[in-house]
Amino acid sequence: MKAKRPAPKKQVNKQPKSKDPIVLLAAGLGNPGVRYAATRHNVGFRALGHFGVKLRRPLFNRFEYGVYPHAGGSVGLLRPLTYMNRSGEAVQRVIRLSGLESKQLVVLCDNIDLEPGVIRLKRGGSSAGHKGLKSIIAALGSEDFARIYIGIGRPEHAASVVEHVLGVPDASEAAQINDACRRAAQAVLRLAECELSQVMNEFNVRS
């Protein structure tokens, strides 16, 4: 008697999906791995952590993705795992799979021209030298997306910018940055509800 063959495994769907329509994609930028987790450059990753959603890595894809159900419309949460200077690859792929437009994207990233604890919202403009933004602009062929800049301050004394952004802040500064990450997450939810100009008026102020 021949042994029964095991039933074929179900094919894994590699596309991020949600039962509710996604009205906004929030891409938090950073570098993957424990080495970079607490650095200033990873504030985008940490901001998404304030949603309390488990992000999962779809098979054969280099990003983590999850959905936050929200009354104003569900928000897609994306962490590229391609390292900062190739963030655009993951952003472009998820936008295409989700059927979204670049104007429905908001990128959360660090900014050295803002003091720790300060956030700023803006739509459009150049990358201003930020490699993550530069990669996204190149991949999408557009600058027409919103950004939430999270302040990390400029380096003191003779420290280089690279050393600063890849450095770990002290406890006092880390608390300020974490509060800014929390407010950045709140700003994302407001963007799912109302126009950017209104959210800018609410959040583009000193805490």
Rounded Cα gap, residues 125 and 141, in angstroms: 13
Q: Which strands form 63-68's sheet, in the order they lie side by side?
A: 63-68, 74-80, 22-28, 105-111, 146-151, 119-123
Asked whether the beta carbons of 92 and 139 are under 8 A apart, the reply is yes
Side chain identity at residue 157, one-letter code: H
Check residue 56 and report its DSSP letter: B
Q: What are phi and psi of 191, to 5 degrees?
A: -65, -25
Asked whether the beta carbons of 107 and 27 are under 8 A apart, the reply is yes
Q: What are phi and psi of 23, to 5 degrees?
A: -100, -15
Rounded Cα gap, residues 125 and 144, in angstroms: 8
CA 76 to chain centre: 10
Token readout for 110 is: 């660090």
Rounded Cα gap, residues 197 and 73, in angstroms: 18
Token readout for 178 is: 């974490």
Active site residues: 41
